[in-house]
Amino acid sequence: MTICIAAIAENGSKLVAASDKMITYSSPPYHLFEHPRPKIDMLNRRCIIMTAGSALLPSEYKRIIRKKLEVGESEARLVRDIAECACKAYEELRRSEIEMRILRKYGVHWDEYIRRISGEGLSEFYYRLISQIEDFQLDLVAIIAGIDGEGAHIFLVENPGELSCFDDIGYTAIGTGEYHAIRSFIEHSYSINFPLVKALYVVFEAKKYAEAAPGVGKATEIVIVDEMGIKRINNDIIRNLEDVYGEKIQFSSQIIREKIEPLLDEIKVKLT
C-alpha cells in the first residue's frame, strides 16, 4: 500500500527517486495515515533503499543490511555489491519469518528443517512443511538505487531474495501504485538520457498517477542522487511541480473539449 519510484537521468550520472508517505496498518481496523518519517532511506552517501509491503518489516530488513555492510567500507562499494548484500539480508529475514510463522508451531528450527529435507525417506509431515515454505511470500519488496564509479543503478529485490537490474530500462516502481506510475514513463518514452529537470517532472507525474491506487498518499518525497551525494527536494520545488502537473491536466481537459469531443460527435452521427 504505497508507491516508490526510481529513475536514472542525465545519461546515467544522476538518479531521481520519489515516494508517498502513507502508512497502512494492516490489522483491523486497517488504519491509513501519513507518517512524517521518510520512506527513502540512505544505505550510504550515494545509495538509497525504498520498500513496499509490510510497514513493520523494513526496520529489521534495513538493520540486517547495515549489519552485513562492513562499517567504513560501504562508501567504496559498487551499488551492485550493496544490492547483493540486500538479497542476502532478504533471505535471512525470510528464514526468520518462516521460523516464527511456520516452523515454531511444530517445534522445528530452520537448521533441523534443512537437515531433514536434505536426507532420504521424508515423512508426509516434512512434505507438507516443504509445500508451506515454498509458498511463503515475505510481504516486502525493495528498490536499491544509487551512484558509483560506473554511474547510476537501480536494483529490485523481491521474493524469495531475487535480484533484478533496471539500468537499461532506466526506471522502476513498487507498491500498489506501481502500474499507474509506470504509465507516465511509457507516455514520455522515458530513457536515461533525459535531462534532470525533465526526469524530475516525469517521476513526480508518475507519483501523481499512482495516487489513483488504494493506499497511496498525497504527500510526496523526492530525492536526487549524484556523485556529490543525496539531496532532498524541498517543498517549494514540489509545489512548482504540482503547478506544472495542474497545468498539464487543465490543458489536456481543454484539448478533450475542443478537439476530441467534436470528433466523437462525428462518429456518433455516423453510428445513427
Measuring CA to CA, how many Å separate 132 from each of 51, 107, 123?
A: 25, 15, 15
Cα radius of gyration rounded to whole Å, the chain: 22
What is this structure's pTM?
0.91
Predicted local confidence at residue 231, as pLDDT:
97
Per DSSP, the residues of 212-250 read: TSTT--S--EEEEEETTEEEEPPHHHHHHHHHHHHHHHH
pLDDT along the chain (272 residues), means of 10: 95 97 70 81 96 93 92 69 95 96 91 85 86 93 96 97 97 97 97 97 97 94 97 96 95 90 92 88
